[in-house]
């Protein structure tokens, strides 16, 4: 049975624990960064079909990290919104040095 979280603040420590493997965190960071490039390219090139790559790039890198390195089930399957938020907060935390990759 899935844990219940009252808010994102309760969820985020769980999210970080589910990303304890450094390679998994690195793959998340690369995938999330690539999402920004894909969105930027789609806007700059005025090619909205490129936006179809956003979930492929984002989830592709993350799921490889979970299935092959972390060896756990991605939180996206149980907590989709909190997990999406966690991806971006962890990405920001890597940039500011709060999370190491």
Section 60-77 average pLDDT: 95
Cα separation of 34 and 30, whole Å? 6
Is 3 a residue whose pLDDT tops 90? no
Report the pLDDT value the prediction gives residue 2, as an integer from 0 to 100: 75
Model pTM above 0.85: yes
Q: What angle do CA 89, 72, 65 make, to 5 degrees?
A: 60
Domain ranges of the chain: 23-95
Q: Quick check: 6 and 80 in contact, CB under 8 A?
A: no
Report residue 99's pLDDT band, with 50, 70 and 90 as the boundaries.
very high
Section 8-27 average pLDDT: 97
């Amino acid at each position: 049975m899935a844990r219940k979280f009252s808010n994102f603040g309760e969820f985020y420590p769980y999210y970080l624990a589910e990303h304890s493997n450094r390679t998994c965190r690195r793959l998340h960071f690369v995938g999330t960064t690539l999402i920004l490039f894909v969105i930027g390219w789609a806007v700059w090139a005025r090619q909205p079909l490129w936006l179809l790559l956003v979930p492929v790039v984002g989830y592709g890198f993350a799921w490889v990290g979970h299935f092959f390195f972390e060896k756990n089930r991605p939180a996206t399957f149980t907590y989709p919104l909190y997990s999406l938020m966690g991806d971006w907060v962890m990405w920001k935390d890597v940039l500011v040095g709060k999370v190491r990759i």
